[in-house]
Chain A
């Protein structure tokens, strides 16, 4: 069965620290997509990144970077030099495609608190 596990429920860091959010997934599909979303207190899920199963290159976008490793079924997210504005709940998700429809399977989320 498809499953996404975010074992870290809450992480608290001091501003400017680096922090890594872990994501482990399970799927039987050979073609799949992984996502990270950020949910600030306002509630809206903000799209951060999409990675397909054939592209294991790491990606960096400003202070954000993602490490995708198929061998360990992990798609971890690192924030470098964290800022207070990074405080939010972060969700990792796996896209399950079936019969031309797309369904996201979410992990339980990691609440990140960045203290000044």
Chain B
């Protein structure tokens, strides 16, 4: 089975721009979660989607949003980028009836 894939792997943006990251879960997995990893704050939960519905959201401003499509693929969007949004964004998928999350390679976002 193919693992979780994320595109793009690297991204450079400037302050004020917006960005969209994409995540394709493991085949058959319907839950997708997003995490932000920074040197200062570590790994923090952003949100979880299941069957196109947001199930849970972390403590992030409204500039961070996401969605999930009927094929379980998910996107997250960050609007009005700030320097502090520079991070590794990790996506994870989870199968039904299990709580183990499998992670993708991440998208490294740099905001200049």
Return chain A residues, CB-CB under 8 Å to B99.
Answer: 33, 50, 95, 97, 102
- A: number of interface residues (CB 8 Å): 26
Task: Give B39-83 interface residues, CB cut-off 8 Å to A.
Answer: 42-43, 45, 48, 50, 55-56, 58
Stretch from A18-26, A56-64, A77-85, A103-111 forming part of the interface with B: A103-111
SS of A interface (majority)? strand
Q: Tell me, in angstroms, the Cα distance from A93 to B3 when the chains sit together.
A: 21
B106 x A103 contact (CB < 8 A): no
Residues of B within 8 A of A (CB): 31, 33, 35, 42-43, 45, 48, 50, 55-56, 58, 88, 90, 92, 94, 99-106, 108
Return chain A residues, CB-CB under 8 Å to B102.
Answer: 47
A66 at the interface (CB under 8 A from B): no
Give the nearest-CB partner of B90 in chain A: A45
